[in-house]
Amino acid sequence: MSTTAAAKETAASGAERELTDGFHLVIDALKLNGLDTIYGVPGIPITDLGRMAQAAGIRVISFRHEQNAGYAAAIAGYLNKKPGICLTVSAPGFLNGLTALANATTNCFPMILISGSSEREIVDLQQGDYEEMDQLAIAKPLCKAAYRVLHAEDIGIGIARAIRAAVSGRPGGVYLDLPAKLLGQAIDAEKGARSLVKVIDAAPAQIPAPAAVARALEVIRSAKRPLVILGKGAAYAQADDAIRSLVERSGIPYLPMSMAKGLLPDDHPLSAGAARSLVLQEADVVVMIGARLNWLLSHGKGKQWGAPGSKRFVQIDIEPREMDSNVEIAAPVVGDIGSCVSALLTAMGSGWQAAPAEWVKEVRSKAEDNIARMAPRLMNNNAPMDYHGALGALRTIVKDRPDAFLVNEGANTLDFARSIIDMYRPRKRLDVGTWGVMGIGMGFSIAAAVETGKPVLAVVGDSAFGFSGMEVETICRYKLPVCVVVFNNNGIYRGSDVNPGGGSDAATTVFVKGARYDRMMEAFGGRGVNATTPDELARAVNAALDSGTPTLVNAVIDENAGTESGRIGNLNPQSVVKKK
């Protein structure tokens, strides 16, 4: 029987029967399935849903904008392997959350966007209801699955379907549409309780076919210069020990994609992170584990990948359609990463021939050279700071605090931080992901702190920060141990551009010079620090992470230090018309 039965009603027989309603059934269904946190923004028709959820012991984190709540839910899903819940109001609130839902789907993060909506009868006749919109139709192409519930007795099934769709197979975003009228619908409490569904084994193991495993092993064994690429799917799978065993027992150098950094520590002797160009050029067999051959890997072809036809690919992924998406996959292994990697380990047995020593040595020595070459630049104490000086200071802090999360967005701020800051534990680095989207910063930071209680260091460009900056109030309100470092170079890529038209308007990529983002945090009772040297920066960040006080450090970066689009300037189209 529901613990939150809403009311009593006197039936025709004169006997009292207990009632429940849509509000309570949604809450009971979430709780029954262990979904104990909601990220959202209140308003018609879901204000009471948030209140009642809070009363029922669900943690409800209210944001200042739905997009940030959606990003929070998505990364909570990534960290927990269960769908993160975002709750929005109809039409505009729903649309604000939709970017995050689409981004979750693109990144294979499980989340459910639950949105209130207006009445079907009015929406379908387009009679102009309050915040009228056919939300289900709009959500559908942007997520993995979309459902609407019209009857209170279907809420249990609706939420069960949403959970399964989000986490089974390739994870992704799911939309659940709850019209206002549904929430107030009353039904018999016992009938309501019976209608709830506890989802058993929401993401069933998917065991790879033995023949596929044998084929993969064949290909790996034939390699002279093997390489493993670990992606965020591998981090998501939480098969950390098995993956580490596979790398160490086979002795194959590995390259982590950005969110897979720390799955094995970045200072591991087999890490090829600092020898990226070499291994992509030279490897003859590439074992992809939970990583896609998308733009981030130049689609598995082109100059970066050495001579055409020089590679054979093994790919481990839960999504069969990912195979051959960009290049031929010689050995597809379809299944969940835990099962696939375990099957490979078993098939390898004890008679495993380690990767050729000469190759491993070549990779190691290249990595060491590159690391040594970078080292002196990371120690500079210039003011204003350059990226290397500032990130050199943060690199040491992250090394000393492997348990802290690192949230990272921006262009130069992202690209330099990714290569300079080593990670030591799985799933600690959270960033812009597959789309390179700006705006994840505060949502990801809030969710990481809420879900784990661990300290969070957010290293964000001044532009990137602007997309979600108002959530510093949320960080202060919930007293979260988040330290935001804004890399303030007065703009996007560089703050030094001038208006090419010569007018008095600022250039398109520059912001107010010398802005003091630290004062935004002070406005809400947090700590603000203006840091002009790496030493000052390190002191401020250490103090913040020690105390857990919400802090924003305005890190003053040389406005000339960055480059256009960071490391991906080559993706900008070139005009054929000569510059005047």
Task: Decide: is 105 part of the binding site for ligand ADP (CB under 6 A).
Answer: no
Task: Decide: is 461 part of the binding site for ligand TZD (CB under 6 A).
Answer: yes
Task: Decide: is 107 part of the binding site for ligand ADP (CB under 6 A).
Answer: yes
When CB distances are held under 5 to 8 angstroms depending on the partner's kind, the choice from ligand TZD, ligand ADP, Mg ion, none that residue 411 binds is ligand TZD
d(CA 94, CA 88): 6
When CB distances are held under 5 to 8 angstroms depending on the partner's kind, the choice from Mg ion, ligand ADP, ligand TZD, none that residue 438 binds is ligand TZD
The contacts of residue 373 (CB under 8 Å, 6+ apart) are none
Task: Decide: is 236 part of the binding site for ligand ADP (CB under 6 A).
Answer: yes
User: Which residues are registered as beta bridge partners of 461?
Assistant: 487
Nearer to ligand TZD, 45 or 410 (CB): 410
Reported in sequence order, the residue ranges of 180-309 that DSSP labels E, i.e. its strands, are 186-188, 226-230, 254-256, 285-289
Task: Decide: is 543 part of the binding site for ligand ADP (CB under 6 A).
Answer: no
Number of H helices, E strands in the chain: 22, 20
When CB distances are held under 5 to 8 angstroms depending on the partner's kind, the choice from ligand ADP, Mg ion, ligand TZD, none that residue 318 binds is ligand ADP
Nearer to ligand TZD, 314 or 492 (CB): 492
Nearer to ligand TZD, 188 or 386 (CB): 386
Residue from 31, 164, 225, 232 in contact with ligand ADP (CB under 6 A): 232
Task: Decide: is 469 part of the binding site for ligand ADP (CB under 6 A).
Answer: no
When CB distances are held under 5 to 8 angstroms depending on the partner's kind, the choice from Mg ion, ligand ADP, ligand TZD, none that residue 483 binds is none
Residue from 439, 469, 481, 528 in contact with ligand TZD (CB under 6 A): 439
CB 440 within 8 A of CB 114: no
d(CA 44, CA 88): 9
- Give the neighbor-by-neighbor strand order of the sheet with 111-117: 59-62, 37-40, 84-88, 111-117, 173-179, 145-148
Nearer to ligand ADP, 148 or 170 (CB): 170
Nearer to ligand ADP, 41 or 174 (CB): 174
Task: Decide: is 487 part of the binding site for ligand TZD (CB under 6 A).
Answer: yes
- Residue in 477, 460, 474 with CA at minimum distance from that of residue 517: 460
Nearer to ligand TZD, 335 or 443 (CB): 443
When CB distances are held under 5 to 8 angstroms depending on the partner's kind, the choice from ligand TZD, Mg ion, ligand ADP, none that residue 439 binds is ligand TZD
Count other Cβ atoms within 10 Å, centred on residue 436: 16
Residue 337 backbone zone (phi > 0: left; psi -120 to 50: alpha; other: beta): alpha
* Contact region with ligand TZD (CB under 6 A), list: 39-47, 51-59, 251-259, 455-463: 455-463
**Exposed e or buried b for every residue in 23-59, given b needs 16+ CB within 10 A?**
bbbbbbbbbbbebebbbbbbbebbeebbebbeebebe
Distance of CA 344 to the CA centre of its chain: 28
Nearer to ligand ADP, 320 or 376 (CB): 320
Residue 455 backbone zone (phi > 0: left; psi -120 to 50: alpha; other: beta): beta
Provide, rounded to whole angstroms, the least separation between the CB of residue 562 and ligand TZD: 5
Task: Decide: is 299 part of the binding site for ligand ADP (CB under 6 A).
Answer: no
Strand 186-188 with 16-21, pairing: antiparallel
Which residue has tokens 């189209």? 573
Residue from 462, 473, 536, 558 in contact with ligand TZD (CB under 6 A): 462
Task: Decide: is 156 part of the binding site for ligand ADP (CB under 6 A).
Answer: no
CB 85 within 8 A of CB 39: yes
Task: Decide: is 431 part of the binding site for ligand ADP (CB under 6 A).
Answer: no
Provide, rounded to whole angstroms, the least separation between the CB of residue 38 and ligand ADP: 24
Residue 27 backbone zone (phi > 0: left; psi -120 to 50: alpha; other: beta): alpha
**Exposed e or buried b for every residue in 374-406, given b needs 16+ CB within 10 A?**
eeeebebeeebbbbbbbbbbbbbbbeebeebbb
Amino acid letter, residue 579: K
When CB distances are held under 5 to 8 angstroms depending on the partner's kind, the choice from Mg ion, ligand ADP, ligand TZD, none that residue 2 binds is none
Residue from 22, 70, 253, 290 in contact with ligand ADP (CB under 6 A): 290
Task: Decide: is 216 part of the binding site for ligand ADP (CB under 6 A).
Answer: no
d(CA 491, CA 504): 17
d(CA 77, CA 29): 17
Nearer to Mg ion, 461 or 534 (CB): 461
Residue showing the smallest CB distance to ligand TZD in the complex: 461
Task: Decide: is 104 part of the binding site for ligand TZD (CB under 6 A).
Answer: no
Binding residues for ligand TZD restricted to 358-417, rule: CB under 6 A: 410-413
Provide, rounded to whole angstroms, the least separation between the CB of residue 536 and Mg ion: 19
**C-alpha dihedral sign at 553, 565, 464, 496:** positive
Task: Decide: is 71 part of the binding site for ligand TZD (CB under 6 A).
Answer: no
When CB distances are held under 5 to 8 angstroms depending on the partner's kind, the choice from Mg ion, ligand ADP, ligand TZD, none that residue 428 binds is none
Read off the tokens for 330.
């010689």
Nearer to ligand ADP, 294 or 382 (CB): 294
d(CA 297, CA 489): 28
Task: Decide: is 554 part of the binding site for ligand TZD (CB under 6 A).
Answer: no
Count other Cβ atoms within 10 Å, centred on residue 309: 8
Provide, rounded to whole angstroms, the least separation between the CB of residue 229 and ligand ADP: 7
What is the 8-class DSSP label of residue 238?
T
- Compute φ and ψ for 153, nearest 5 degrees: -70, -10
Task: Decide: is 237 part of the binding site for ligand ADP (CB under 6 A).
Answer: yes
* Contact region with ligand TZD (CB under 6 A), list: 248-256, 264-272, 458-466, 543-551: 458-466
Residues in contact with ligand TZD by CB under 6 A are 410-413, 436-439, 461-464, 487, 489, 492-493, 562, 566
Residues engaged in binding ligand ADP (CB under 6 A): 107-108, 170-171, 231-233, 236-237, 257, 259-260, 290-292, 294, 296, 317-319, 322, 336-337, 434
